[in-house]
Structures are given as C-alpha cells and as structure tokens.
Amino acid sequence: MGELRLMKGNEVLAEAAVRCGCDGYFGYPITPQSEVMETLMELKPWETTGMVVLQAESEVASINMVYGAAATGKRVMTSSSSPGISLMQEGISYIAGAELPCLIVNVQRGGPGLGTIQPSQADYFQTTKGGGHGDYRLITLAPASVQEMHDFVELAFNLAFKYRNPAMILTDGALGQMMEKVELADQKPRWTREEILAKSGSWATTGRTPDRQRNIVTSLELDSEKMEQNNIRLQAKYQQIEENEVRYEEILCEDAEYLMVAFGTSSRVCQKAQEVLREQGVKVGLLRPITLWPFPSRVIGEKAKSVKGILVVEMSAGQMVEDVKLAVFDACCCVPVAYTGRMGGILPSPGEVVEAFEQKLLKR
Amino acid sequence: MEIQDIIKPENLVYEKSKLQVNVISHYCPGCSHGVVHKIVSEVIDELGIQEKTIGVSPVGCAVFAYNLIDIDWQEAAHGRAPAVATGIARTNPDKVVFTYQGDGDLASIGAGEILHACNRGENLVVIFINNGIYGMTGGQMAPTTLLGQVTATTPYGRTVELNGYPLKITELIAQLPGVHYCTRQSVHTAATVRKCKNAIRKAFQNVMDKKGTSFVEVTSTCNSGWKMTPVQANEWMVEHMFAEYPQGDLKDNDKKG
C-alpha cells in the first residue's frame, strides 16, 4: 500500500509527475490548474530527483520547451487550461509531426474565448479531432477521480514513449480542484543517460557520437511524395494505437436495457443518476470512455445492439455524442442516441440527467 | 618543381571543416549564411564539442541548417527556437546548445521568446542573421528592414507611417542582465570573417563555461532579396545597414571592472 493522502487533483498531478521520474515541467499560470506548478515549486524536485521546473513566459513558450526537452529523450510535461491549450496547438502539431513523446494536461474550463474559470468538457473536439493543423492524433486519457489523475500521469508517459506520440490528460476544473483520497506511488528514479540512449538513442538529439549519424528532429519534408509517406507511417501508428490502447469502464452494464455514455466529471454525475434510475427499476448501464482517443467505438457499437436507447451526457453542447453516433452507425444499428448536458462551466445535476433520460429515452 | 610535389598534406594551408556535410548548399551564391555555417562548423570542431552540441534551426532560409552541419539538430517552429533551446539546455545542462535564427524568426514572430530566454540568462549561444528581409518567402519586409528599403511588401519603400521603425533588437538584448556577451559582426571581407569567427568562438566558449546567454548578430546580405549582385549587396550593406546597425561589441561582461 502506497502513501495515502487527501489531495486536490491538481496537486496530485504534480506529486505523480515527480514520483514517476519525470525530467521536466514547463508551464504558465492559468486558472483552474495553477496549483500544478505551484505544488511543483513547493516540492523543489530539482533538489531531490533532479526534475526541472520552469515557469515560462507563455503557453507558446511552454509547449516549445517541452518540444526541445522531449526531443532529447527526456520525460517532460506541461499543463494548462483551455485558452492556454489553444495557444499550444501549433507546438502540439509540431510535436506530433516530429513524433515526440510527452505529456500535456488540459484542466478544462468553459469557453469559447476567455470564457469562465469553471469546469467544462468543451475541448473534446479540439483534443480528439486534431486541434492543430494536419492529420495527427493525441493519445487522450480522461480521468474521473483524483486517484486517476495520479495514475494516468505515468500511464500517459508510458503510452507516449511506447508510440513516440504526445499524450494528453483531458480533465476539468472540477477534478482539478476536487479533494479526494489518493494512494501515491513510491518514488521512481529518473532515467539515466544509458536508459535514455537505450530507449530513444536512435532518434533523440543526445549528442552526435562517432558510433552513429547525426539525429535530426523535424516535422519538415518539402518533397510531397516523402511527406505523404510520413503521413502513411503516422496513420499506421495511429491504427496500431486504436487496436491496442482502447480503455473504458463498464458500470452495471450486464443487464442493461439502456446505456449512458459519459467521461470524466460527467461520468461521476451519471453514476448518481444511474442509482436513481435503477431505484425506479430502469436497467441502465454506464459506459465510461477512459481513452477518448482511441475511442471505445467497438464496445459502444456492440452494446448498442442490445439496448433500447443511449444517452450521452457531457459538459459541452454535445461533442462526444457524435463519436457515439458514429459507433452506433458503424455497428449497423439504429438505436436512438440522445444528448444532454450543460455548458459554459456548469455541471449537470443528477436530477437533470434523470429528467433528460426520462424525456428523451423513456418518452415520459 | 612539379605541381604534384606541392600537393602534399604538409603543405595544406586550408581545409573544409570535417563538420561541414558534403552536400550542395541550398543558399544563394553571395548569401552570408554559407560563411556563417562554415564558421560555426569550424568553431564546434576546434572546441572539440561535436558530441555535446545541439543546434536549433529556425523557420527561414536556415531551416535546413541541419543538412549542412554534422551535429544533432532540432528544427523549431517559427520564432520558437529560444524556447526549444531552453527546454534542451535546462534538462541537459552538460550540452552546448545554440539557436541559429534570422531576423523574421528572431525579431518578429519570435521576439517574445528571444527576449525572455535572454532575460532568464539561458545558457545558450544565439546566432542572429540580420539581413533586413524575409529571404525564404520571397523578400518581404522584416522588422529590421531599413526606412525607404524596397521589399515585396514595401514596394514603395518602408515608411514610418505604415510600418514603424527598424527594430534594433540587438541593442534591446544587450540591456538584459542575463546576457553575458552581445556583439554585432559581419562576414563580407576576410578580416570581418576572422573577427566574426572570434566572436562566435567566444560565444561557444562562454556557454561551455556556463556564463549565460551569448548573442552574436551577423549583419548580413541577401543579394537575391535585395535584387543586387553579391558585390553590390556587400557595398549596400556597408553603406546603409552599418549606419543603422553599428558593428562591434555591445556588451561583454568579461571586460567589466
């Protein structure tokens, strides 16, 4: 059993980063996630593990610092909230194009624009459909508890390095600010130079030694034939990730006649709504996507065949619902798929979800 | 004496640095980039730091610098090289990191990144090629374009009313306490090439000695963009660019007190 503590989601992100042997954090303050860097600065990991923590002049600089450090084979990360993540999109596209492993955390707030500092899930499209320019994908993990905020930091780094691809933890201000019990992992050492050379020496800029050609980290290829080949290679990688890395949780789905699909904070609200509906005798299951990309399309398609209706609950105008509809369509199924949710920094209440469920699926 | 008797290793007076990759350069004949690449290659070689050096190339004509100098390279987004280099240097303090940037990259879109990297005193060499124009995209106005200068986006000459003043970014950089060494050089004559090489060597030595940021502007020609012959471009640079961008050291903390 690891150390147990009562902690905020944002604080846990920082603690988990240090404990999994992260080499560096580069960030810029923005509500509701500023505690990530504040906690790191208090922890002073440069005195213990040697982890670098730097407050950059902007999110644009932060993500490019991540680019530079990640391209040397180091395990580095940044965190921000929606408007800051928008600023990072150029850098994220370059990181995806140069195939650099790193972790980006988005503690979402309501938009568009400067919006609000309250929690939201309206960056789903931005995260799972690209966000920046070009055909690329982010491995996206959506925690639903403070414990998962902890666990997904190391998982995200492992997936990022397994596929040489940026990984994102897509969470929101509610989980960032919420305090829950968390079991912390034991401290792991940072990778040694030898370990970095063994894992990433074939591509990372670790210094041009006589035993190899120079390593060049770039996303540029002016020869269109070669650039298309680069894209084909990327797409093959993304397909491999889609085959291997889909993660989801099924909550009371065995006997389900109806299904709710929700991720992160929304799934916590849905768990309560599920309790209420089951007390009324409605057999409703909850499917919680943990990876938003790759999306658990196959399992949703299978479930769609045995239920009478699906309700997708989001803290947005309805974004993931499009992927649920595609999953149902791909399964050649015509079960009704409805959406409910709140926007602009408001969490739907369990009562609202129950009411929407009754109106849209039970037609009461 | 026959010519064969003279062509012997012991009679060699000059050879190309072994760090200069044997490929055809993409630079226009007469451009200053080639000379500065040669200097950077020679300095890295002479200091024996090929295995420790990581270069960051910009967006602009020098984007392909990584094809020309035999070290590990990262290609940065437009203007972001100082942030990329910060990430490398902070997590790899044993490395010698340098950025190589043009005036559009460094003084326009990347003005924020260069100012803050220099202000933090990041342990970096910055090579700043200032030719007063966007070469790669076809000769548009740069922040350092001179008043009256004709470019693709100032076809009637740069005016204060429309475009503001030439940005003396090197003077700004020199003001920052984090900057250890800041100098302005050129490479249009054999003598200035030697001086510029001394400056670039000093900058790399400073980073090896962990003295903070060393910033070397090379006031340069872009004869293609300026629509001149190489000789005319050199003359025009001396007459007009040097008046706006005076040559020599702006700051050297080694010479303090």
Indicate the residue of B71, B76, B90 with minimum beta-carbon distance to A64: B76
Residue A232 lies in a domain: no
Average pLDDT over residues A221-236: 97
Answer whether B72 sits within 8 Å of A216, measured CB to CB: yes
pLDDT tens-digit series, residues B156-187: 999 999 999 999 999 999 999 999 999 999 99
A58 touches chain B (CB under 8 A): yes
Do A258 and A148 share a domain, yes or no? Answer: no
| Closest chain B residue by Cα to residue A209 | B51
Task: Tell me, yes or no, whether A168 and A255 share the same domain.
Answer: no
Confidence of residue B7 (pLDDT cuts 50, 70, 90): confident
Return the number of other C-beta atoms located less than 10 Å from residue A244's C-beta: 11
SS3 B87: helix
Place of tokens 């510029």: B196
Max CA distance (Å), chain B: 68
Of the candidates A193, A210, A233, which is a domain's last residue?
A: A193
Q: Which residue has the tokens 């391209």?
A: A71
Q: What is the dihedral of CA B114, B120, B121, B123, to 10 degrees?
A: -80
Q: Is residue A131 domain-shared with residue A272, that is, in the same domain?
A: no
Mean pLDDT of chain A: 97
pLDDT over 90 at A363, yes or no: no
Give domain status of residue A215, yes or no: no
Q: How many domains does chain A have?
A: 2
Q: In one letter, which amino acid is B118?
A: C
CA separation (Å) from B58 to A132, A149, A304? 20, 36, 51
**Average pLDDT for B50-62:** 97
In A, which residues are within 8 Å of B54 by CB distance? 72, 205, 207
In a domain, A243, yes or no: no
pLDDT tens-digit readout, A263-305: 999 999 999 999 999 999 999 999 999 999 999 999 999 999 9
Contact list in A for residue B23 (CB cut-off 8 A) is none
- A171 and A271 in a single domain? The answer is no
Q: Which of B52, B63, B88 sits opposite A68 (nearest CB)?
A: B88
* CATH classification at residue A26: 3.40.50.970
Look at the pTM and tell me if it is higher than 0.90. yes
Q: Are residue A142 and residue A264 in the same domain, yes or no?
A: no
Q: Does A221 touch chain B (CB under 8 A)?
A: no
Residues A184 and A252 in one domain: no
Contact call for residues A127 and A292 (beta carbons, < 8 A): yes
Q: Which of A173, A193, A213 is the last residue of a domain?
A: A193
Mean pLDDT (whole number) for A143-163 = 98
Record: contact A68-B85, CB cut-off 8 A: yes
Name the band, by pLDDT with cuts 50, 70 and 90, for residue B256: confident
Give the domain extent around A20: 3-193
In a domain? residue A216: no
Domain boundary among A155, A170, A193: A193
**Three-state DSSP class for residue B196:** helix
Q: A319: domain CATH number?
A: 3.40.50.920
**Does residue A162 register a pLDDT over 70?**
yes
Strand partners, A4: A183
Predicted pLDDT of residue B257: 58
Token output for B221: 């020609």
Q: Give the whole-angstrom CA distance, residue A35 versus residue A38.
A: 5
Per-residue pLDDT tens over the stretch A210-221: 999 999 999 999
Helices (H), A280-319: 297-304
- In B, which residues are within 8 Å of A46 by CB distance? none
Could you tell me if A102 and A166 lie in one domain? yes
Nearest CA in chain A to B64: A220
Q: For residue B102, what are its two tokens? A: 């043009």
- Of A24, A52, A216, Cβ closest to residue B73: A216
For residue A222, being part of any structural domain is answered with no
What are residue B148's phi and psi, to 5 degrees?
A: 90, -15
pLDDT band at A88 (very low <50, low <70, confident <90, very high): very high
Residue A146, in any domain of the structure: yes
A vs B: CB pairs below 8 A: 121
ipTM over cut 0.90 = yes
Question: Is residue A15 one of the residues assigned to a domain?
Answer: yes
Residues A7 and A156 in one domain: yes
Tokens of B66: 């990584």
Same domain? A170 vs A278: no
Same domain, A64 and A169: yes
Whether A261 and A169 map to the same domain: the answer is no
Sign of the CA dihedral with A39 first, then A45, A49, and A55 last: positive
Pairing of strands B179-186, B248-252: antiparallel
Other beta carbons less than 10 A from residue B210's beta carbon? 10
Sign of the CA dihedral A37, A40, A42, A47?
negative
Intra-chain end-to-end CA distance of chain B, in Å = 57
What pLDDT, in 10s, does the model give residues A37-69? 999 999 999 999 999 999 999 999 999 999 999
Q: Do B87 and A64 touch (CB under 8 A)?
A: yes
CA-to-CA distance for B236 and B228, rounded, in angstroms? 9
Place of tokens 């003295």: B211
| CB within 8 Å: B84 and A68 | yes
Residue A3: pLDDT band with limits 50, 70, 90? very high
In a domain, A228, yes or no: no
Residue A130 pLDDT > 90: no
Per-residue pLDDT at B146 exceeds 80: yes
Q: Is A109 on the interface with B (CB under 8 A)?
A: no
Structure tokens belonging to residue A247? 């993660």
For residue A72, list chain B residues with Cβ-Cβ distance below 8 A.
54, 88, 91-92, 95
User: Structural domains in chain B?
Assistant: 16-252 (3.40.50.970)
Q: Are residues A181 and A260 in the same domain?
A: no
Q: Which of A200-204, A330-334, B117-121, B214-218 has the lowest mean pLDDT?
A: A330-334
